[in-house]
Amino acid sequence: MLKLTDVHKSFDKTEVLKGISLNVEKGSVTAIIGPSGAGKTTLLRCINFLEKADSGTLYFDDIHVDLEKVSKKTMLEIRRKTAFVFQNYNLFGNMTALENVMEGLVTARKVPKSEAKDRALKALEKVGLIDKADFYPSSLSGGQQQRVGIARAIAVNPDVILFDEPTSALDPELTGEVLNVIKQLAAEGTTMVIVTHEMTFARDTASHIIFMDKGLIVEEGSSSEIFTAPKEPRTRQFLQRLENI
């Protein structure tokens, strides 16, 4: 479904991605784990062109992209196949939860307002916030705001949802409500790529684990392979903190 080959990205003279290749199968949940500064978020942002990679190739269904020469038209085509859930929600403070979910449908995808409203209400219901449809972000908890962000992603019916550390801005007591929504989506077969520091969640929910460090994929495999019997010393070192889980 989605394939990246030999992706490179530098900021100034610092090489952040050093030749990343990965495959994302339809219906899979891919968790990208690793220490801070490993390049995880940059990789995620390069998939839908929030950052433009310096080189490499991207395959998305029947679309083949040379990342060095990609056109704006192709970028838009890829973005319409994806949805992005940000760390810090990125909600419009002057819009209600319902209006935030509708905005991308109406503005970017030109969906008629009546249809956009129906889809937005269904998405809010799915994340357990139908009763908060008319609330502004300032009246919502962090967990509720992030669930609005997930509803916004669901509403556009993307081929794949990209999550950038969706619980990192939350207090621990609010993390569970967001992870439960993601687990529900996983159970329904939603294709997702998730950058996360929540190791227990990654172990229990993801079908494929990618461990990154210093701009490289050090190791990848199934959840049981990575968390039970990692092959690389660096992976074992990183996962030692899970020994008591």
Residue 186's CB is within 10 A of a number of other CB atoms, namely 19
242 has pLDDT over 70: no
- Mean pLDDT, residues 175-184 taken together: 93
Max Cα distance, the chain (Å): 55
pLDDT on residue 172: 85
Q: Determine if the pTM surpasses 0.75.
A: yes
Q: Quick one: tokens of 170?
A: 């939350």
pLDDT value at position 245? 46
Segment 75-126, tens digit of pLDDT: 999 999 999 999 999 999 999 999 999 999 999 889 999 999 999 999 999 9
20-57 per-position pLDDT tens digit: 999 999 999 999 999 999 999 999 999 999 999 999 99
Q: Is the pLDDT of residue 153 over 70?
A: yes
Q: Where are the domains of the chain?
A: 2-243
Please give the CATH topology (third level) of the domain spanning 2-243: Rossmann fold (3.40.50)
pLDDT exceeding 90 applies to what percent of the chain?
93
Q: Give CA–CA dist 85/194, Å, rounded.
A: 9
Per cent of the chain over pLDDT 70 is 98
Give the CA angle between residues 70, 74, 80 to the nearest 5°: 135
- What distance in Å separates the CA atoms of residue 153 and residue 34, rounded to the nearest whole number? 25
How far apart CA 153 and CA 151 sit, in angstroms, is: 5
